[in-house]
C-alpha cells in the first residue's frame, strides 16, 4: 500500500469541519481491476450453490478497494493537494472471457488544499 495515504486526508463529506478549503484542484481518481484464479472462481461457484459467506471474494474486493484508495491518494498528492473531499466508490464486474470474472473498483473525489491539518 502507498505511504501517500497517510499524508492525504480522504473524506466522503463535502467539507472538512474545522478546516478551510483554500484551493480546489479538481477531480482525482484511482482504479483497480482484479480477478480470482480459475480455481477460486470454481470454488466460489460451488459455495454459491450452497449459500453462505464468500470469503475469497470478500478478500479480493477488500484488496481492490485498498489499492484503489492508495491510487486515489497518489493522484491527489501528485497534484499537490492534502485532502480529497466527496470521495465515492463505484464498482462493477465484467466477464473477461473463459469464465474469468473481473472486479473493478473506482474511487473518485475532489482534490483540495485545506488549512488546519
pLDDT, tens digit, 9 for 90 and up, residues 31-59: 998 775 555 555 555 555 566 666 667 78
Tell me which residues of the chain have a pLDDT lower than 50.
Answer: 1-5
Q: How far apart are CA 71 and CA 76, in angstroms?
A: 9
Its pTM stands at 0.75
Q: How far apart are CA 96 and CA 103, in angstroms?
A: 10
Nearest 5°: the CA angle 18, 112, 3 is 95
Query: Which CATH number does the domain 4-115 belong to among 1.10.3720.10, 1.10.150.20, 1.10.238.10, 3.30.110.70?
Result: 3.30.110.70
Q: Which residue has the cell 477531480?
A: 27
Sequence spans of domains, the chain: 4-115
Amino acid at each position: 500500500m502507498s505511504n501517500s495515504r497517510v499524508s492525504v486526508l480522504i473524506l466522503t463529506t463535502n467539507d472538512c469541519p474545522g478546516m478551510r478549503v483554500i484551493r480546489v484542484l479538481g477531480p482525482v481518481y484511482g482504479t483497480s481491476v482484479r480477478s480470482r484464479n480459475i480455481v477460486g472462481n470454481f470454488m466460489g461457484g460451488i459455495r454459491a450453490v450452497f449459500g453462505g459467506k464468500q470469503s475469497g471474494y470478500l478478500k479480493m474486493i477488500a484488496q481492490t478497494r485498498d489499492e484503489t484508495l492508495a491510487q486515489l491518494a497518489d493522484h491527489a498528492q501528485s497534484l499537490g493537494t492534502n485532502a480529497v473531499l466527496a470521495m465515492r466508490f463505484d464498482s462493477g464486474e465484467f466477464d473477461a472471457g473463459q469464465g474469468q470474472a473481473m472486479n473493478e473498483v473506482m474511487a473518485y473525489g475532489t482534490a483540495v488544499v485545506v488549512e488546519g491539518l
